[in-house]
Structure 1
Amino acid sequence: MARKDHRKEGMTLLRKKQKLSFWVNLICLLGLHAEAQQLPKKLIVDKLDLHLADPSMIPRVFDETHLEYHQISNVNWPDYPYRPDVKFRIAYSDFGILLHFKVVEQSVRAKTSLDNGPVWEDSCVEFFIQPDSSNDLYYNLEFNCIGKLLIESGTPGNRTFAGPNVLANVKRWSSLGTQPFEERKGPVNWELAAVIPYSTFFKHTIERLDGKVVKANFYKCGDKLAVPHFISWSPIALQEPQFHAPSFFGYLQFGYD
C-alpha cells in the first residue's frame, strides 16, 4: 500500500489557501476602489487677498499663487464614453469666486451668441453651486467656449433665469475670443476664466464665504458636438445624463477651519 505524502498535501493546501486569500483581497480592493469612485469629491478653496476685476488676469494670478488644478474626468454614462481633458482651478476673495478652466478636446463649437442661450449644445463648461445648506436652491452657471453664459437658480425642474444685470456682472475671458463659429475639428486647446461676484447668487444675500462648506459640482459637456459627452468632477449615479442632480454634488470648503 502506497504511503501518502502528507507534506506534499500540506503544501498544496497552503497554496490553495494563499490563492483564495489573494482573490478575496483583490475583490475587496476592487470593491473599495469602486466605492471610492462613487464618493462625492471634496476640495478646499483658497482665499486670495485681492480684488480682481479682469478675468484675463486669473490664469497668471493662479500660476503665481500655485493653485492646484482639479480634473473633471468622471464618465458617468457608458453610452457617452468620450472624455476630453478638462481641469479647473478655483479661488475666492472678499468680492466673489474666481474660476479658470482648461480644456483639450477633439472638436470645438460655439454657435450660441447670446447669454441665457443654449450654451450646453456648444463646447461648454459648467459650475453648479448650492450656497446655503438650509434650503435646496442651487445655481447653474454654464459657459460656452466663447464666454456666453447661462445662469439659473431654483430646484430641479423649477428654474429661474438670471436677469441681464446679473449676467453682465459676471466678467468672462476666453482664449477663443467672443465671436460664434461652427464646429471646428481639432484637437483644440482652450481656456475660460470668470470673476463671479457674490451678487450673482440673486436669490441669496452672500457677503462672504470664509469658513463655509457648500455643495457644488463642475461639468464639461457638448450636446451637439460630433461626439457628445457629459463628464463631471464629482460622480453621478443616475441612469441617464443629468447634471441637475444636487444629491450628487461634491463639497467645497472655503478657507481653512
Structure 2
Amino acid sequence: MLPKLSFWLGCFVVLAAGCGGKPMQDKPASYLVRRAPERPALQGRWDEPAWWATPILKVERFMNAPGANNHRPGVQAKVAYAADGLFVIFRVSDRYVVCRHTEFQSRVYTDSCVEFFMQPKPDKGYFNLEMNAGGALLVTYIEDAARTPTGFKKFAKLPPEADALIPRFHSLPARIEPELTGPVEWCVEYFVPFSLLERYVGPLGNVAGQTWRANFFKCADESSHPHWASWAPLDVDFAGGFHRPDKFGTLKFE
C-alpha cells in the first residue's frame, strides 16, 4: 500500500472510531475565581476595569431534553470575589426573550433565565441562584436534591429579606411580554454576600485557595423556544435536570 494512502486510511479509521465507538469524555469543568481588583459597579459593564482580568466561562452544553428545540443562545459568565462576597455577571445573546415573573421566589426558570448553583463545602448542601432577564430571583439551599411532590427531600427557601441582600443589575425591564422574538443581548449582574451563605453552611473563612463546586445554566422552560444548557457537563438526555451536584465542576479561588 502506498505510504500516503496508508496514512489517510489510518486517519479515517481513527475518526470513524471516534464517531461510532465510545463518545469522547468531556474535560472536567474548572474555573479560576480571581479576586476583584476593585468592586464592580453592578451596572452591567462587562468590560469595566473590575472585570478585565476575570476569565470568561461559556454555558454551551445544550440538552436533548423533551420539548427542547434548536435555539442556541450565546451565554457567557464571569465570577470574581472580594473579602465579603461573590460578584457574578452573565451576558446572553438571545432571542424569544420573555419575563412573566417579577416576585422573589417565583418560577423564574420558566422565563428567559440564567442560573448559578454553588456548593461552598463538600459536606454541606448547595445553593441555586436563578435569575430571569428582568432581575427576579429564586434562591434555595438544598441538602438532598431527591425529588418530592413539594420540591426536594431536604431544602430551605431563603426568606424574603434575602432578596434585598443580593443587589443586582438587569439590562431589560422587569416584565417582558409578549416575547422579544428578534435578536437581543441582555445582562444580569449581582453580588452574593458570604454572610448570607454562612447562615446555612457555617463560617467560610478566607476563601483564597479554597475549591468550591458549582455549575452554571441557561433555560427558558415556558418560552416559545424552550432550551436547557449547562457549563459543566450533565447527562445529555437531561436525566435529573439541573439539580445534579454530583455533576458540578470546580471553582478554584485564587
Query: TM-score when scaled to structure 1?
Result: 0.83
Deviations 1:36-84 (A, max 9, x none): 4x333111111124455x5216535356634232111001326524311
How far residue 238 of structure 1 moved from its aligned partner, in angstroms, is 5.4
Asked whether the 8 Å contact 1:111–1:182 carries over to 2, the reply is no
What amino acid maps onto 1:134 in structure 2?
Answer: D
- Within the candidate set 219, 222, 225, 1:221 is matched to 219
Q: Secondary structure at the match of 1:126?
A: strand
Query: Structure 1 stretches of 5 or more lacking a match?
Result: 1-10
Tell me the equivalent position of 1:55. 42
What residue in structure 2 maps to residue 249 of structure 1? 248
**Which letter maps to 2:213?**
K
Counterpart position of 1:69: 56
Relative distance call for 1:180 and 1:107 in structure 2 (3 A) is closer
**2:135 aligned residue (134, 138, 147):** 147
Quick check: 2:63–2:227 contact (8 Å CA) kept in 1?
no
> Against the structure 1 CA distance between its residues 78 and 238, is the aligned structure 2 distance closer, same or farther, given a 3 Å change threshold?
closer
Query: Which of 178, 182, 205 is residue 178 of structure 2 equivalent to?
Result: 182
2:99 paired residue number: 110
| Alignment root-mean-square deviation, CA | 2.6
**Matched-pair contact (CA < 8 Å) for 1:198–1:207:** no
Distance in 1 (alpha carbons) for counterparts of 2:165 and 2:251: 23
Give the whole-Å Cα distance in 2 for the aligned partners of 1:83 and 1:180. Answer: 20
- SS of residue paired to 2:89: strand
Question: Aligned in 2, Cα 1:78/1:177: closer, same or farther, shift over 3 Å?
Answer: closer
Deviation at 1:98, TM superposition (A): 0.5
Identity rate, percent: 27
For 1:26 and 1:112, the matched residues in 2 are separated by 47
1:6 corresponds to: none
**Cross-structure match for 2:235:** 237
Is the CA contact (8 Å cut-off) linking 2:94 and 2:185 kept in structure 1? yes
Aligned residue for 2:78?
Answer: 89
Q: How many Å apart are 1:19 and its aligned residue?
A: 5.0
Higher helix share: 1
Per-residue CA deviation, residues 104-162 of structure 1 (Å, 9 max, x unaligned), is 11211111010100000100000000110123x11100000011100001121232100
User: Aligned residue for 2:191?
Assistant: 195
Letter in 2 for 1:108: V
Stretch of structure 1 that moved more, 178-187 or 16-25: 16-25
Number of residue-to-residue matches in the alignment? 241
Larger mean CA deviation between 125-134 and 201-210 belongs to 201-210
Q: After alignment, is 157-166 or 185-194 more displaced?
A: 157-166
How much does 1:179 deviate?
4.2
2:183 aligned counterpart, secondary structure: strand
Compare CA radii of gyration and give the structure with the larger one. Answer: 1
Could you say which residue in structure 1 is the equivalent of 2:148? none
Give the Cα–Cα distance (whole angstroms) in 1 for the partners of residues 227 and 106 of structure 2. Answer: 19
Cα gap change, 1:58 to 1:34, in 2 (>3 Å):
farther
Stretch of structure 1 that moved more, 146-155 or 119-128: 146-155
TM-score norm. by structure 2 comes to 0.84
